[in-house]
Amino acid sequence: PLTRDALIERLQNSLRPKRFHHVLRVEQTAIKLAKRYHVDLEKASIAGLCHDYAKQRPDDVFIAEIKKKHLDPDLLNWGNAIWHGVVGAELLKDECGIWDEDILNAVRHHTTGAVVMSPLEQIVYMADYIEPARDFPGVDRARQITDEDLGAGVAYQTKHTLAYLIKNNKPVYPKTIETYNAWVAKYE
Ligand code: DGI
Ligand code: FE
Ligand code: FE
Ligand code: FE
């Protein structure tokens, strides 16, 4: 595996400056949450840094990787927003020698969440949402809830992201709905 310094260099070469600075902020936010919730700090650092590794790859790279790795063919009906996590994790194996499944799952699930998420996965999902430069109505509430209860933060983000997608007539990826059902909706 790459050292943190080598990984930083890769990121700097593959991401535009704005995105690169976002991943540094997600790393720092993930480390803070990892301290708060007693999760491995080094894994939080690497996962935070890697989560958007593939964000700026052209579509044809993702399409080739989906075919090469025989990933779910339904992925071909989606785009960068869904690909950069799930398919990005495959590129991290190929190109950066990152094989830790908890880190890879944190990258895979950082956009849509998942029915089952480890503490590290929840941390990266939340760090991406509440890093210091994020500015949207409700972000301070999201930061406060996440500091009180990590799972409650996951539920908050999941609910608000789904509401945002629906309000804007965006297609909802099935995993996003599964996450909503698992973390937000409760049968009475
Ligand atoms: O990569 P980032 O911009 O840091 O953040 P992200 O990976 O969490 O989200 C990328 C985009 O994906 C964001 O605009 C919200 C969008 N998104 C999340 N869930 C879904 C989705 N887009 C669609 N169409 N469907 C989803 O279910
Ligand atoms: Fe992302
Ligand atoms: Fe996110
Ligand atoms: Fe991100």
* pLDDT tens digits for range 169-179: 999 999 999 99
pLDDT tier, 1 (very low <50, low <70, confident <90, very high otherwise): confident
Is the pLDDT score of 2 beyond 90?
A: no
What is d(CA 83, CA 155) in angstroms, rounded to the nearest whole number?
Answer: 22
The average pLDDT across 101-107 equals: 98
pLDDT tier, 188 (very low <50, low <70, confident <90, very high otherwise): confident
- Work out the number of other CB atoms within 10 angstroms of the CB of residue 84: 22
Residue 5's pLDDT is 96
Q: Quick one: 47 exposed, middle or buried, by C-beta within 10 A (0-12, 13-18, 19+)?
A: buried
Q: How many residues does the chain have?
A: 188
184 CA distance to ligand 4 middle (Å): 22
Is residue 150 within a helix (H) or strand (E), and if so which, with residue range? Answer: helix 150-167
Cβ–Cβ < 8 Å for 33, 123: yes
pLDDT tier, 163 (very low <50, low <70, confident <90, very high otherwise): very high
What is d(CA 34, CA 15) in angstroms, rounded to the nearest whole number?
Answer: 25
Alpha carbon distance, N-terminus to C-terminus of the chain? 47
Per-residue pLDDT tens digits for 21-64: 999 999 999 999 999 999 999 999 999 999 999 999 999 999 99
- Residue (of 136, 58, 69) closest to 108 by Cα position: 69
Q: Kindly list the domain boundaries of the chain, sorted by start residue.
A: 4-183
Per-residue pLDDT tens digits for 121-159: 999 999 999 999 999 999 999 999 999 999 999 999 999
134 CA distance to ligand 2 middle (Å): 13
Q: Quote the percentage of the chain above a pLDDT of 70.
A: 100
List pocket residues of ligand 1, CB cut-off 6 Å. 52, 55, 81, 110-112, 128, 161, 165, 170-173, 176
Is the pLDDT score of 9 beyond 80?
A: yes
Residue 187's pLDDT is 78
Q: What's the token pair of residue 115?
A: 């029915």
Per-residue pLDDT tens digits for 59-101: 999 999 999 999 999 999 999 999 999 999 999 999 999 999 9
142 CA distance to ligand 3 middle (Å): 13
Cβ–Cβ < 8 Å for 155, 126: no
Q: What's the token pair of residue 62?
A: 């993702």
Cβ–Cβ < 8 Å for 156, 149: no
Residue 140's pLDDT is 98
Cβ–Cβ < 8 Å for 53, 96: yes
What is d(CA 113, CA 105) in angstroms, rounded to the nearest whole number?
Answer: 10
Residue 74's pLDDT is 97
Whether domain 4-183 has CATH 1.10.3210.10: yes
Report yes or no for ipTM above 0.95.
yes
Cβ < 5 A residues, ion ligand 2: 52
Residue 104's pLDDT is 98
